[in-house]
Amino acid sequence: MKFTAKQIAETLHGTVEGNENAEVNSISKIEEGKPGSISFLANPKYTHFIYDTDATIVIVNNSFEGTHPIKATLVRVENAENAFAMLLEMYNQVKLAKSGISKLSFISESADIGNDIYAGEFAVIADNAKIGNNVKIYPQVYVGENVVIGDNTTLFAGVKIYSDCVIGSDCIIHSGTVIGSDGFRFALQDGGKKIPQIGNVLIEDNVEIGSNCSIDRATFGSTILRKGVKLDNLVHIAHNVEINEKSYLAAQNVVAGSTKIGKNCMFSGQVGIIDHLEIADNTLIAAQSGVSKSIKTPGTAQMGSPSMDVMKYRKNYIHFRNFEAIVNRIEELEKQQSKPESGG
């Protein structure tokens, strides 16, 4: 799909400087601009690229003043970065605007299907599933028995949703993620006998889950992701965990069973949290931290393994870096004390 500089300027409430009929059909970085693409300039560090870029159209701030000739058509706006973000969102909506049901998909006769859904090749919607309006189900997605999916949710290729799970509206679940697999529970005193997992996973509205995540079903009850939760790629959420509103977990986080995470928490990559803990609202946890005790004071920051208050960790780390010198000093003092006293 092609757009002219004039159309883009009207959409972004900007003005055109150059050829208003210049057309673009792709997006590029300004330093990698190519004919037929649109880019933007917001950071002054990249200003020199605008004079040589092959991008056909460049979005710039109204305040931008060139010092050399520019071959690209300019679209001037109040804030180039915000305008480009708006353009990216519009581009993504057009790109992902899929519709129709493939003849190679399978939809059970007992499934309840909403309006304007997309179901790609080899997608499966099982018995008694309920699918809302404008849901996009990409190829090779499996939606199990009795699953409920709200309006405007997107399931990218290869997502698997086991039976009885509930997904809210306006959610995005990326490729390879599995929702509703069994929790990891075995009766060790009974020879490792598997404990049946008969609960489900409940995901509320506006949740986004990255690729290759695993959200385990509850032993009974629900594993819950509340509204606005965001999970990065390769995150594992165990059985009966509850993550409250607008908490963010970066890649390779692991949250063990029955732990409760508060609202507005932010965990960096590779954080591990053991089972049955409580993490207070607004908690920050640094990368590669191991959390072994509940964090009950809201708004604290922790790091390390085992994790501790970030200021305490940094003070202790200074001692750790000096540990070799401290040991050497102690050894030298011991040597001096062990020397025999000289006679008078």
Residue 34: the pLDDT is: 95
Position 343 pLDDT exceeds 60: no
Strands 290-291 and 272-273: parallel
Topology of domain 3-95 in CATH is 3.40.1390
| pLDDT, tens only, 195-248 | 889 999 999 999 999 999 999 999 999 999 999 999 999 999 999 999 999 999
Q: Which residues are catalytic?
A: 239
Give the 3-state secondary structure of residue 321.
helix
| pLDDT, tens only, 128-137 | 999 999 999 9
Position 316 pLDDT exceeds 90: no
Phi-psi region of 176 (alpha: psi -120 to 50; beta: other; left: phi over 0): left
* Encoded amino acid at 189, one letter: Q
| pLDDT, tens only, 19-35 | 999 999 999 999 999 99
- 3-95 shares its CATH topology with 100-312: no
Q: In this structure, what DSSP letter does residue 91 have?
A: H
CATH superfamily ID and name for 100-312: Hexapeptide repeat proteins (2.160.10.10)
Tokens, residue 254? 């692991």
Whole-prediction pTM value? 0.83
Does residue 77 contact residue 14 with C-beta atoms inside 8 Å? yes
Q: In this structure, what DSSP letter does residue 341 have?
A: P
Calpha distance 282→298 (Å, rounded) = 6
Give the 3-state secondary structure of residue 137.
strand
**CA distances in angstroms from 40 to 63, 79, 92, 200, 274, listed in the order given:** 14, 10, 17, 46, 45
Domain borders along the chain are 3-95, 100-312
**CA distances in angstroms from 277 to 45, 77, 137, 229, listed in the order given:** 46, 49, 35, 19
CA dihedral for 205, 301, 256, 177, sign (positive or negative): positive
